[in-house]
Amino acid sequence: FTQAKQADQETAMRVTRDALAVDTPIWMLRDSAYDILDWHDHLLAAGVVPIAPYNPRTLL
C-alpha cells in the first residue's frame, strides 16, 4: 500500500483507516515498520488484533 521502505506514522494510520473502511478483519498483520503504539491502540479500539514484530528503531 505504500512505496516507502518504512512508512511514517501518518501514512500507517491512513492506510489502516482506508483498510478498515472496506472491511473489519479479525487480525491485521504488518511488518515492523508498523510497530507504532497509536496503530496498535487504533486497531484494538476497532476490535482488531494488531500483529507487528517489535522494531527497536521505531518510536512508539
Is the pLDDT at 45 greater than 90? The verdict is yes
Is the pLDDT at 15 greater than 90? The verdict is no
Residues in the chain: 60
Would you place residue 48 in the very low, low, confident or very high pLDDT band (cuts 50, 70, 90)?
Answer: very high
CB neighbourhood size of 33 (10 A): 20
Write down the pLDDT at residue 33: 67
> Which residue type occupies 4?
A
> Which residue type occupies 23?
D
Is the pLDDT at 47 greater than 80? The verdict is yes
C-alpha separations of 35 from 22, 54, 55 in Å: 22, 6, 6
The SS3 assignment for 21 reads: helix
**Which among 48, 45, 10, 9 is positioned nearest to 29, based on CA atoms?**
48
